[in-house]
Amino acid sequence: MNALVTAAKKEGTLNVIALPPTWANYGTIINTFEKKYGITVNSTLPDGTSQQEVDAVKQENGSPKAPDVLDIGLAVALANTKLFAPYEVSTWSDIPAAQKDPSGLWYEDYGGYMAIGYESKFGTITSLSQLLTPKFKGAVALNGNPTAANAALNGVMLANLAEGGTPSNISKGVAFFHQLKQVGNFNPISATGATIKAGSTPVVFNWDYLNLSSYVGVPGWKVFVPSGVALGGYYAQAINKNAPHPAAARLWEEFLYSQASTGGQNLWLQGGARPVEQQAMTSAGTIDTSAATALPTVSGTPVFLSQSQSSDAATYLATNWANAVG
């Protein structure tokens, strides 16, 4: 570890990509890392998608500006493992086996559950069908196009599960959004922090860590999770095989998976995201308990889409989404 710190300090720089400073506490995480190790973090394309991260790795291969580390959706990670260097952080055994690649090419980092965030002026939402009432005219939005953005695909899946659908067949979710569109409640504006703050997208299907009042900056912002529907999703970390700063990249991973009170795992938790080592940290007592209890509660057995369920959903959406809400 000491040798790694020395080597990383010598490199002096770390290139990260697609890390919005307000997303899962990344602003603080980057600052803490910079201060702790005296390494400059170059953050590019903060609002990029996972696919754009991979494209940057390919296009800037060999350049000193190429991304060193990736925070990436699982579907994209699995399709691009040949770009990654295997690495096992020192807390490797605390990552549940199902949430990491056995050879260390990728490892899940943090995640959350899908939730419906909404402005308090709507009162309290207790069921999905309420969203079809006239009160929600032009209000209900997704975080992007479900054929492109993972969060939006999971938004449709959330409706699907709440409507009694199964993870391997998303059609009931698409049917729900078709109904929303027909009653005029579907809002096609892409929900971002800015649109939520401006009130243009007052109801948003999104990950719970992006649906926090502190994240969206709307006082009284509430969260609704349909009962018994715990649709989870985790992002994954990976190191660029040809990283221009290989030691700094590995030190960054060590920092992100550190269970210290100012380590990456607890910092993610403070940003409302559930760190992958949460269970081990709870048993070991290293978790930030006040941040952990502040998380929205979800009931039911957690569902994580498998690779084939996710790609079946994407295929169904590719042919049916445009017709359902167009």
Partner 1 sequence: MTVAATTKTGVRPSWAGRRPHAPTWVGTVPFLAYVAIFLLWPTGIVVIDALKNPDGAWAFSNVSEFGNPLIRGYFIGSFKLCLLSAAAGSVLGAILAYAVASGDPDGLIRRLYLSVSGVLAQFGGVTLAFAFLVTIGPVGLLFHASWYFDFPWGIGLIYTYFQIPLMVLVFMPAIDGLKVQWREASENLGSSAWQYWRYVGGPLLAPAFLGGALLLFANALSAFATIQAWENQIAYIVPQQISTAMSSEVGLSSVNEASLLALGLVIMVAVVMTIYALLQRRAARWLR
Which residues contact partner 1 (rule: CB under 8 A)? 49-52, 73, 75-76, 79, 137-139, 141-142, 144-150, 152-153, 184, 187-190, 195, 198-202, 310-311, 313-315, 317-319, 321-322, 325-326
| Cα–Cα distance, 86 to 108 (Å, whole number) | 13
For β-strands 230-240 and 69-73, DSSP reports them as antiparallel
Residue 18 C-beta: closest distance to partner 1, Å? 10
Residue 299: count of CB within 10 angstroms of its CB: 10
CA-based nearest residue to 162, from 73, 234, 75, 224: 224
Residue 84 C-beta: closest distance to partner 1, Å? 16
Q: Which is nearer to partner 1, 51 or 266 (CB)?
A: 51
Q: Which is nearer to partner 1, 32 or 320 (CB)?
A: 320
Q: Which is nearer to partner 1, 284 or 318 (CB)?
A: 318
Token duo for residue 15: 């290139």
Residue 307 C-beta: closest distance to partner 1, Å? 9
Residue 54 C-beta: closest distance to partner 1, Å? 9
For β-strands 140-142 and 203-207, DSSP reports them as parallel
Residues β-bridged to residue 73: 235
Q: What are the DSSP E strand ranges found in 123-270?
A: 140-142, 203-207, 222-224, 230-240
Q: Which is nearer to partner 1, 192 or 240 (CB)?
A: 192
Residue 199 C-beta: closest distance to partner 1, Å? 4
DSSP label at residue 132: G
Residue 116 C-beta: closest distance to partner 1, Å? 15
Contact status, residue 238 vs residue 77, Cβ threshold 8 Å: yes
| Cα–Cα distance, 245 to 125 (Å, whole number) | 48
Q: Which is nearer to partner 1, 89 or 196 (CB)?
A: 196
Q: Which is nearer to partner 1, 239 or 313 (CB)?
A: 313
